Amino acid sequence: MIDAYMWGKINRLSPEAPIPIVDIVKHEKRLGGAANVATNIKALGAFPILCSVIGQDDKGFFELMKKEGLTIYGILQENRKTTIKTRIISEDKHQLRVDEEDTFLLEKEDEFIKNTQNLMKDTNIVIFQDYNKGILSKNVIEKLLIYAKKQNILTLVDPKKENYWNYKNVDLFKPNLKELNQSSENKIDHIDLKNLSEKVSFQRHKLNAKNLLVTLSEKGVFIQNQHQNLLFPAFKRNIVDVSGAGDAVISTAALALASGLDIDKIALLANLAGGMACEKVGVNPLNSKQLLKEANRLI
């Protein structure tokens, strides 16, 4: 998807309704959604291949991909809208967001699966970045997970509610607290190690996930596998905008897992990356040198 920004100034209220008038001074487009995950992965030193579907009118998507040096072999086009999220920003705050998108299932699902499988052959990691936009159906998820397992490829998932329980047998499953609660009859209303360990254990076993990483916003992160339950508070950061935090977390966790790091280091690095992604307005890729410097200082 594309994250579009309209930057402006508020000098007066509208005479037509009790709302501010934003005088726009700058327009900007950036890669968003799974494409933001790809830019983060590239910024951290790996080679991402983005597989997704956009509309026949790419709205400048291919030009943005070219500008970031990202491959487009995994991008198919169909008769649908290219998702654009337009944020109107003034005084470093979001005043309004307007979404243009289609979320129906793919027309060329078989073609998408085949193309994605071909591109997966020489990869180490596959991230299922689910935004519930119609790309990742139950069939797509099942076939790509089976193929990844046959190829011994690590699988990570950033889920949404609709397909939450379709991601079986993955290496790392990363919901946020809201998504965890939406998919559970027993809600977590008090964050502590005991409470999280019990609720997460049920879901991890039901999903048969090797690791389950829960992001807790300002409360930090929790990670669990068969042997450990670890809760880490958030690093103190200057939080400006939470856009793209989840993308930074899954990108960093993926590369940390592929590098063979222990789960405490995976969680701490992902926790740090998520906070750093919130220090600027809008969606911005991570800076690998800055992340390493902060990791050496704090972890």
Average pLDDT over the chain, rounded to whole? Answer: 95
pLDDT tens sequence across 93-125: 899 999 999 999 999 999 999 999 999 999 999
pLDDT given at position 52 = 98
CB 203, CB 184: distance < 8 Å: yes
* Residue listed under structure tokens 């740090």: 272
Answer yes or no: is pLDDT of 84 > 90: yes
Answer yes or no: is pLDDT of 243 > 90: no
Which residues form the domain of 174? 2-298
* CA-closest candidate to residue 246, choices 198, 173, 176, 186: 176
The CATH number of the domain holding residue 167 is: 3.40.1190.20
Exposure of 191 in the CB half-sphere (CA atoms within 13 A): 19
pLDDT tens sequence across 201-210: 999 999 999 9
Give the dihedral of Cα atoms 160, 157, 69, 28; nearest 10 deg: 20
pLDDT tens sequence across 47-69: 999 999 999 999 999 999 999 99
Q: How many domains does the chain have?
A: 1
CB neighbour list of residue 145: distance below 8 Å, 6 or more residues apart: 155, 167, 168, 169, 170
Indicate if 247 belongs to the active site: yes
Reported pTM: 0.94
Locate all alpha helices (DSSP H) within 187-226, ordered by sequence: 193-207
Beta bridge partners of 231: 222
H or E, element range at 230? strand 229-232
- Percentage of residues in the chain having pLDDT higher than 90: 89
Sign of CA dihedral 144, 149, 152, 154: positive
Active-site residue, from 99, 247, 262, 264: 247
